[in-house]
Amino acid sequence: MRETILSLSITLLILLAALLHAVWNALIKSNEDRLSMMAFVAGSGSLMVLPLLPFVPVPSWEVWKILILSLVLHTGYKVFLIKAYTHGDMGQVYPLARGTAPAIVTLAGFFFLGEELPALSTLGIFLIIAGIVSLAWRSKNGPRGASDPRAVLYALGTSAFIAAYTLNDGLGGRTAETASAYVIWLFALDGISITLIALWRRGPSLLRPQRAWLIGAAGGAASTVAYWLVIWAMSIAPLGPVAALRETSVVFGALISGLILKEGLGWRAVIAAAIVAAGVILLKL
């Protein structure tokens, strides 16, 4: 049975997913070879769920069509994210990429899926989006933000992929026999394409035992659990509030950017985080 509002348990689980998502993004950003680290994260995530495949139903053709499209979108997302982190800081790229997506998802849910949202929830979504996007203009180079326009362009491209796969995977979680079955198949296949790209670009050295494997495994676990929680939530709650609440990951990302990656955490980020928190409260009213 689908819920019409977000319960406390769903809210807390989505916030956990947001934290885990910010953590694995920080692992990608902090590594000099971001393509290899992305392959380790996605590849390890796939390996972790492979043992579960015999215990879930084989997808129907309708679900396979959704899965194939999703794999293409997830690959595009990874490539654009790597490019964005190459040209910009996490404190700039992460909020811009994550902040634009919920607006697209919410509008699509309203216009194409017939989802109706209470007025306070709608206001809360827009407050979250405003706070997230404002975080994008915090930069260690000054309050005006981005020093390299390529970072902004790739971040916006990343956001488009996020919006597309969020809607597609939300549909997949609803169409499959269970949301968990859909996520297991998605993650079992998700690491293949980016690993092949990394092997093509880096060669056999990618397979050499190295410390980055362990870091990638930690990132893969965080990524898998985070997305699993979100797909499950989308299967029983409205897409817009779930997607918007998930984007509070940028608050965690802002803290990681300033306190761990030392990219700078100013008063603008604190105000933006407060705006996001206000939006979350409105979603609960």
Half-sphere exposure of 203 (CA within 13 A, CB side): 1
Instruction: Tell me the pLDDT band of 96, cut-offs 50, 70 and 90.
Output: confident
**Using CA atoms, how far apart are residues 202 and 5, in angstroms rounded to an integer?**
47
Q: Which of 79-83, 132-136, 175-179 has the highest mean pLDDT?
A: 79-83
CB proximity list for 7: less than 8 A, separation 6 or greater: none
Say what percent of the chain tops pLDDT 70.
Answer: 88
The arithmetic mean of pLDDT across residues 88-103, rounded, is 78
**180-203: pLDDT as tens digits:** 899 899 989 999 999 999 999 988
**98-142: pLDDT as tens digits:** 777 766 776 777 777 777 777 877 888 788 778 777 766 655 444
The arithmetic mean of pLDDT across residues 238-248, rounded, is 75
- More reliable by pLDDT, 111 or 5: 111
Q: Is 80 exceeded by the pLDDT of residue 238?
A: no
Q: Which of 59-63, 90-94, 239-243 has the lowest mean pLDDT?
A: 239-243
Instruction: Tell me the pLDDT band of 146, cut-offs 50, 70 and 90.
Output: very low
Domain extent listing, the chain: 8-284
pLDDT of res. 145: 46
Q: Is 90 exceeded by the pLDDT of residue 213?
A: no
pLDDT of res. 197: 95
- More reliable by pLDDT, 57 or 6: 57
Instruction: Tell me the pLDDT band of 263, cut-offs 50, 70 and 90.
Output: confident
Query: Is 90:261 a contact under the CB 8 Å cutoff?
Result: yes
pLDDT of res. 5: 65
**29-54: pLDDT as tens digits:** 988 899 999 999 999 999 999 999 99
Half-sphere exposure of 27 (CA within 13 A, CB side): 26
- Letter for the amino acid at 44? S
Nearest to 258 by CA among 63, 89, 25, 109: 89
- More reliable by pLDDT, 232 or 185: 185
For residue 72, CA distances in Å to 57, 148, 229, 265 come to 22, 27, 21, 35
The arithmetic mean of pLDDT across residues 84-102, rounded, is 82
